[in-house]
Structures are given as C-alpha cells and as structure tokens.
A and B are shown apart, each in its own frame.
Chain A
Amino acid sequence: MIGQTASTMAATPTRTASGDAAMPGAASHLRRLEAESIHVLRETVAEFRKPVMLYSIGKDSSVLLHLAMKAFHPGKPPFPLLHVDTTWKFREMIAFRDQRARDLGLDLIVHTNDDGLSQGIDPFTHGSARYTDVMKTQALRQALDLHGFDAAIGGARRDEEKSRAKERVFSHRSVAHRWDPKNQRPELWSLYNTMLAPGESMRVFPLSNWTELDVWDYILLEDIPIVPLYLAAPRPVVERDGALIMVDDERMPLLAGEEPRWRSVRFRTLGCYPLSGATVSTAATLPEIVREMMASRTSERQGRMIDRDSPASMERKKAEGYF
C-alpha cells in the first residue's frame, strides 16, 4: 500500500495554530481546486436522490475518492462506488480496488455486462471499438438503469481531450443516456441546473478544472494511495502497433514472433490491460513520476487505444453514453 489511507488522515484531524493563513500560498492553486471539487460533490448529494461515484481505480478516481472522503467527513460519502468491470482490467487494479473499498468501509458495486461476457466479447477478436461499446458503454448504462442512479460522479477532466473540454460540470443525459453537445445547459458561476425529467440522469465531473499535472501534484501533496502500476517496475510486455502492451494473464493471444520481454515500464493511464499502452520509464517514486511528466512531450491519452479509432471518436463515444 502506498502511503497512509485517507481514512487515517480523516480520523486524526490536526489543527493549525490560530492566525495561520487559511489557504497557504505554497499550494493555494491545489487548495482552490480542492474547494471547488468538494463544493460540486456536496451539491450532487444535496440535489440528487440517488447518486453514485464511478470508480475506475485510476489516479483520477483515487483523487476523486480522496476528495469525497474529505467532503463528507466525519461521515462517509453518502453514495456507493460503482466499478464497471470489463474482466480485462489489470489484476493489480482489481486487488487495489477491493482493498480500498475495505479500508474505507465503502459500498462497492461491481457490474459486468453478462450478455457481452456470454457472447465472448473481447478486445482482441472484436476490436477495441466494439469491445468498448459493449463492455464499457453498454455495461455502464445497464448498471445505472439497474440501480436507478440519477447522478453518476466521474473523474473526467477538461484537459484530457478536445470534446471533454466542452463538457459541463453537471452534464445532462437523456433517457437513453445520450449526451447532446449542441444542446448543453449553460453553466454559470457555480450554479448548477440539476432538474431532471423521468428517466433522465446527470453525469457530474468534480475534476473538470484539474490538469493531469494537478492530479499528480495533489496525489503527492496529500499522499493518496494509487495503483502501483503507475510506478515503473519490470513487467512483461510485447510491442504491438507501436504500443507496449503488458501481458497480464494467459488470455492474451500472442502473435507470431511476439515474445513477452521484461522491461521497466509504467502506465500513465490505466484501463483494460490489452488497451493500455505502457511507457518505458525508471520513475519508481511519485516525485520521479511528476518530474518525468513535466518533461514529457506526449499527452496521457496517447497510450489509450480507443481514442485513436477515428477522428472525433471520443465525442461519438460520449454521445453514446461512454464516460
């Protein structure tokens, strides 16, 4: 486990001396983002009947969960966590997920699209586009419908991708979970229109104004536990279509001539292991990651296979209900 848990942090509050500047200058930028995100989380709980937090186990989810622990302290977040499990996540992610939920004493709902599973949909034979649609987008919609959640909190950031840059903090979804980018509700100040018609729902993005660097800085500042896959370590990888794919289990079919090699790699984003490209790195500590990132010349989504399917592929997936 990396660092101490958030619950430990929350259970032993420390009081600074009277007269201390309330928002210390050194991290005022992060404190402002933190305050904004907590405000959004509390609005969600106050305005919706049945919210849920989408927990994808990645670094953004780690930050989101940490913020939720703070927002509702000394209580627990008054909503469950939902993980859409494609069954192709890294094993370390699943272990980390279960440990976090246990440590923090939170309700964790794990949902898998059983139809897709029984049809044997996998990222190798069906292509990443079809696979993502069935095992992620449709699975998420199933889970939201099944539990009747009217607000789903996610860790998406506006700096990730061009169509995300136009996303609202409170983003309306139709009964069919569709996003209509041309008909978004205006969002002014920090006033959010949370009204829904029957069957409609809201996606809520408390990290909208964070950048990738902010996320790492905050993880460092707050000592937030993250999946070790973010840190460099020797891992078995094959090179495929210009990306380094980790062979996480025996289900990965190796092509002719492919031989897993042990290389020191880490991941900038985590998802399904066959779709997550690793980067060669020796950054084995958080400070090293941040330093490496600041010098980086590529964006984090570069390692994601699904964004590359076609131009505007993210926008189309979002319209269909992908997170």
Chain B
Amino acid sequence: MSYHEAPTIAATDAPRLEQDDRPTLRFVTCGSVDDGKSTLVGRLLYDSKTLLDDQLDALASESKTAGTTGGDLDFALLVDGLQAEREQGITIDVAYRFFATKLRRFIVADAPGHAQYTRNMATGASNADLAVVLVDARKGVITQTRRHSHILSLLGIRHVVLAVNKMDLIGFDGDRFAAITAEYLTMAGQLGISRVQCIPVVAPDGDNIVAASARMPWYTGPTVTAYLESVDVAGDVSQRPFRLPVQWVNRPHAEFRGFCGRIASGTIAIGESIAVQPSGRRTKVARILTPGGERDRALAGESVTLTLADEIDVSRGDVLTAGPAPLISDQLAAHLVWFDDEAMVAGRRYLLKCGTASIGAVITTLKHRIAIDTMAQESAATLDANQIGYVHFSLDRPLVFEAYRDDRGMGSFILIDPIRHRTAAAGMIDLSLRRATNIHWQRLAVDKSVRARLKQQRPCVLWFTGLSGAGKSTIADHVDRRLAELGRHAALLDGDNLRHGINRDLGFSNAERMENVRRVAEIAALFVDAGMIALVALISPFRSERELARHRLEAGEFIEIHVATPLAECERRDPKGLYRKARAGELKGFTGIDDPYEAPQAPEITVDTSELSTDAACERIIRYLREHDYL
C-alpha cells in the first residue's frame, strides 16, 4: 500500500481518552545512599502497573544476576539505569520516570544520595512540585536529610512526604516513627517547608506504598500513592503580574516581527499595555499567536509569539511586562548552591543566565556559608562543591528579575564558567541591592533601529582576531576605507591604539587582558547602538572572551573574522620585532610563542594573508556584508 492510498483519519474519530484529564504531579525523591529511594520508585512503577511484560522479564533475569536481593525482584534495578550504577549499586545521576494512576500522572526525578552528587538533587528539585524524602528508620534524620531538606527549601519546595523506610528492621516500632516524625517536623518548620506528610513504609515489600500495611495498624494516615494522588500543590503563577522573557525574535519576512517566549507568570490579552524591560518603553499587544492558532489572550506556561503595536527595539534577554514593574538591577543578592569541583572565587567573572538573559557577572562578596548540620550562617572565603552560600553579585548590565520566592522562572539562574563551560552553580535571587529598583535606563526616543535606518546600514561589529602580525589592523584599515568609499559609517577600534587611551591602565596579566577585551567589546557595542559598523582589531586569543563579546550583542551583530595567517608567516614578517624578543625570552606570555591562541571554531569569515592580498581579503569581507544584508 502506498501512503497516498492510506485512509484519512478525521479528527472527530478521536476518542476522548480519560487520561487526558489527569493532571501531572512532578516530584523528586531524595535521601541517603541505601535509604531505598530507587527501590521506592521501582515499587511505585511496579504497583502502578506501569511496567510491561518484557520489562518485568528483564527485571526478573537481572535481579538474579545483578540484584542485591538474593534473587527476589530488585526494584532498584528498574531505576538505576547506567551500567556503572548497577555495578556499584548506587544511583549517580538523576533519572526521570513516568507512571500514572487512575487519578494522576507522575514524573519522578530520582535524585542520588551520595554527598558529591548534591548538584543532581538540586537539579531534580528545580522542576518539582513536591519531594519524597527517605530516611532509614534505623538512622532517623541525619546530615544528608538536613542537607537535602535545606536544598528543597531553597528551591522553593513547600510540600514534603517523609517516607520512613525499613520499618521492618525496627520491628514496626510506632514510637520510633513518632520520634523521627517530630524531629523532622521541627527542622521542616525552621526551613519553611509548610506541608509535611510522614509515612512509615517498607519499600521492597510495598507496605504503605499503594496498600495500607497490615503490619503497622497503628498508622492511620494515607499511603504514599494516595497522598501523591490527592495533594494540592497548585501555586497559581497566573495571578502574578505578566512577565514574558523574550526568547527569540521571529522575522520571517518584512511584514512580521514577533517576539517569542514562554509566559513566566500572569496573563496577557490583545490591546493590553506592556513595557519592554529594561528599557521601559511602552507599547500595546497587537496579536497573540499560540500553538493552537491566534487568540485574544494567553496565560502563564504557554509558549507564545506576540506582535506589538509599535515598532520598538526588543531582543532576546528583554522581558515584556505588564502591571507593577519588575526588579531591575545590576547589583543583587542570591543563594547559591555550588556545583563545580573548582571552588567559588569572589572577583572571578562568570556568565549568569537568568530567563533568556546571559550577562557577565562577578561575585563581589560571599556574605556567609550555611553550615549544613546546624543551618547556622558561618563566615567563609569560598564555596566548595555541594556547599550553599549567600552572595552579592555585580552584573555587567541590569537584569530584569523577581525574587525567587515570588516567581521561580524570573528568580532562578545558573552560573557558567566562561572558560571551561561548566555549570558552576545554581542560584535563587533573594533581593536587589539597589535602593531604587525600578530606575529605568534613560529612555531613548531615538533607538538603534532608527539610527541604523538613517544611515541605511545594519550596524554590526567586525571583530578581527588572529596572531600578532597576522594583518588584522592592515585589513581592518582597508575595510574601514572601503566602507567610507561606499558612504557607510564605520569606526576602527585598534587594540594597540586603545591601550594608549582608555586601556592605558591595563597591563598584560590574564585578568587585565580579559578586562581589555571586555572594554573593547563594550565600546564596540556602543557604536552599534549608535547605528555604526565597528571594526575591532585585537589579538583576543581566548575563545571565551570573544564569546562574551558576542553575547554582549544581539544575534547577527557580531561578525568574527579570523585572520588566520600561519604563525611561521607572522613570525617571518615580525613587523614590530616582538617575535624576535619573545623567542629571545625578553617578552613573556607572548601569544603564539609561550601563550596559547585559541582559533575560532566557526568564524563568520576566515582570511589568510599568506594566500590572499590585503585587497582580496578586504573584498571578501565586503562581499560577506553585502550578501548578508549589512550594506
């Protein structure tokens, strides 16, 4: 049968599946190694009849060969997915599991108990509505329980099920259960975890998982499943002010300019007045495009595309808002859960990603660290992996945000190490450190797009990177002159020349080189704001710095030009005699000799002056600008 002849299935044939109405509860499980988390999750999957015959067969055979239960079904094997985990008998990463009961669907993040993997627990908790915390009835509340509960509280989890497992090993002792319950409730109260349900269980046997346990008649509360099916965790972000972090600008053709994003909070309707933050410019919503077609209104959680009544400058990282102004500041205080093996360093530059904005950030002060056992604040100089602290940040430019306790989507961020690209920490914003948080940027009646139109060009930065002597300044100078001939407005920023002026205070240490690049990127961005084409000629040897410069601009505004003349050729030319000095050891840390040059991965343009004349290189660049509608 060819597919042309396949029957057409009308949408009206669709049966209304009863599953469709069941809401989803996302929860995380946490506890120490050997408390039985994976077994509990495996048991929930098993008892909910989510497991299918071939999976059960595989479980039975694996239980015999790899199980730790003497050949009985080892439910933990269902969840411990990675080979290394099965070999070591521990969970080393978050696993996501799906099951459903008659009343609800569930997505479980099974988070590991090993101390060094706390970061994964925070990961699992970040998208959870509720947490199931396991404790071993023989051990009660231990340091790990406190650590996990603290992270849960920081991540805004207000609902906890405390599953006191292995009740069979303490003879189903109700008094011991009551003591553990009391101790945990005290701690939860201090942490602001408002709703706790304590349940005594035996996970491998299923006691109080789905069915009430006959072995613990003194417990009259709900089973784990019954509680998960009924708990009300709704926190209605639709009631909060409208916030839409702009993800992407959709410009398929000249007549359409839409701003895409997922509504973080609130609702929006056609005709409503909104502000573009941080500029503060106001306009009205013209159209609302949703996955289901055009609509008059949309609410939190939906991925939408809005068009606006006025043509104003909006780009990724901006936030469309209505109602009370959000917090806007370049100074803020936040809780941090440190992930990276490399300790936190105050004064180092990280990339802070909040919503859709990525901004260079420096931790100015570590105010305190949290002692996990006592939850006391202690002074410290640094945070190691899995430690929690409270820090002050200084950002390269103002961020639009809310306090995490009010709005998870607008108050959460990750910190990225710009050199090694690791996710160094997760953060929850507590407050803005500026007195007046709603000082807007000077409202600019004439914006970038207006200026660019006046000049009939698309502003951009041509960033020439390459070894000393590669020909960056020479080519940039040629391009500058060609642009002038073409009647375009450009400005040349030469690294050497800038070091005589604005960067005269900077030396050549790594930190000073980074600051040099940052300043040049900022100046280039100002030229772009002014509607100009900025030409930057700078060795800029590190890819991460060039990426930061790229991030400072909007998509398409940063054109990386690799002047890829080989080292041997640069050294042969040696126009300033620097290579000779470096080889002679008179110049330390010279790029290409005893300091690395990280070539661009995918530059927009590559020119090699050992193959191309300066004129040809220049023409290649001009041609690129023409073909990509910059000129």
Q: Which stretch in A69-77, A115-123, A136-144, A250-258 binds the other chain?
A: A69-77
| Contact between chains at A2 and B294 (CB < 8 Å) | no
| Residue of B9, B84, B353, B409 most packed against chain A (CB within 10 A) | B9
Which applies to chain B's interface (DSSP): helix, strand, loop or mixed?
mixed
| A126 interface hit (Cβ, 8 Å) | no
* Given known A197-B543, A217-B20, contact A13–B293 (CB-CB < 8 A): yes
> CA A286 – CA B13 in complex, angstroms?
9
Q: Which stretch in A45-53, A81-89, A127-135 binds the other chain?
A: A45-53
| Contact between chains at A189 and B408 (CB < 8 Å) | yes
Inter-chain contacts of B305 with A (CB < 8 A): 73
| Contact between chains at A22 and B21 (CB < 8 Å) | no
| Contact between chains at A42 and B7 (CB < 8 Å) | no
Interface bracket on B: 35 or more
Chain B, Cβ-Cβ closest to A70: B291
> CA A196 – CA B316 in complex, angstroms?
19
Chain B, Cβ-Cβ closest to A37: B303
| Contact between chains at A1 and B20 (CB < 8 Å) | no
* Given known A29-B20, A285-B7, contact A191–B414 (CB-CB < 8 A): yes
| Contact between chains at B248 and A45 (CB < 8 Å) | yes
| A315 interface hit (Cβ, 8 Å) | yes
| Contact between chains at B247 and A163 (CB < 8 Å) | no
Chain A, Cβ-Cβ closest to B260: A42
> CA A296 – CA B62 in complex, angstroms?
22
| B54 interface hit (Cβ, 8 Å) | yes
| B256 interface hit (Cβ, 8 Å) | yes
Inter-chain contacts of B126 with A (CB < 8 A): 188-189
| Contact between chains at B295 and A22 (CB < 8 Å) | yes
| Contact between chains at B291 and A186 (CB < 8 Å) | no
Chain B, Cβ-Cβ closest to A28: B23
> CA A148 – CA B2 in complex, angstroms?
35
Contact of A3 among B9, B23, B96, B251 (CB under 8 A): B9
Number of A residues, CB within 8 Å of B:
98
CB neighbors of B among A223-249 (8 A): 223, 227-228, 231, 233
| Contact between chains at A43 and B247 (CB < 8 Å) | yes
| Contact between chains at B303 and A198 (CB < 8 Å) | no
CB neighbors of B among A62-99 (8 A): 67, 70-76, 92, 95-96, 99
| Contact between chains at A186 and B423 (CB < 8 Å) | yes
| Contact between chains at A166 and B93 (CB < 8 Å) | yes
* Given known A15-B293, A166-B81, A186-B119, contact A227–B3 (CB-CB < 8 A): yes
| Contact between chains at B3 and A99 (CB < 8 Å) | yes
Q: Measured between C-beta atoms, what is the minimum distance from B315 to chain A in Å?
A: 10
Q: Which stretch in B224-232, B395-403, B450-458, B598-606 binds the other chain?
A: B598-606
| B95 interface hit (Cβ, 8 Å) | yes
- Interface digits, B3-22 against A, CB 8 Å rule (1 contact, 0 not)? 11011111101111101111
| B53 interface hit (Cβ, 8 Å) | yes
| A32 interface hit (Cβ, 8 Å) | yes
| Contact between chains at B96 and A284 (CB < 8 Å) | no
| Contact between chains at A223 and B262 (CB < 8 Å) | no
> CA A111 – CA B158 in complex, angstroms?
50
CB neighbors of B among A189-203 (8 A): 189-191, 193, 195-199
Q: Measured between C-beta atoms, what is the minimum distance from A196 to chain B in Å?
A: 7
Inter-chain contacts of A30 with B (CB < 8 A): 20
Q: Measured between C-beta atoms, what is the minimum distance from B117 to chain A in Å?
A: 10
- Interface digits, A273-302 against B, CB 8 Å rule (1 contact, 0 not)? 000000000001111001100101111001
| Contact between chains at A182 and B84 (CB < 8 Å) | yes
Contact of A39 among B294, B297, B303, B351 (CB under 8 A): B303
| Contact between chains at B127 and A35 (CB < 8 Å) | no
Chain B, Cβ-Cβ closest to A16: B295
* Given known A35-B291, A227-B3, contact A287–B555 (CB-CB < 8 A): no
| Contact between chains at B15 and A287 (CB < 8 Å) | yes
Extra A-B contacts (6), CB below 8 Å, given A70-B291, A189-B412, A223-B9: A42-B303, A46-B248, A186-B423, A193-B422, A195-B416, A290-B17
Residues of B within 8 A of A (CB): 1-4, 6-11, 13-17, 19-24, 52-55, 62, 78-79, 81-84, 86, 92-98, 105, 107, 119-120, 122-123, 126-127, 247-248, 250-253, 256, 258, 260-262, 267, 269, 289-299, 301-303, 305, 316, 339, 351, 353-354, 356, 408-409, 412-414, 416, 418, 421-423, 426, 543, 547, 555, 598-602
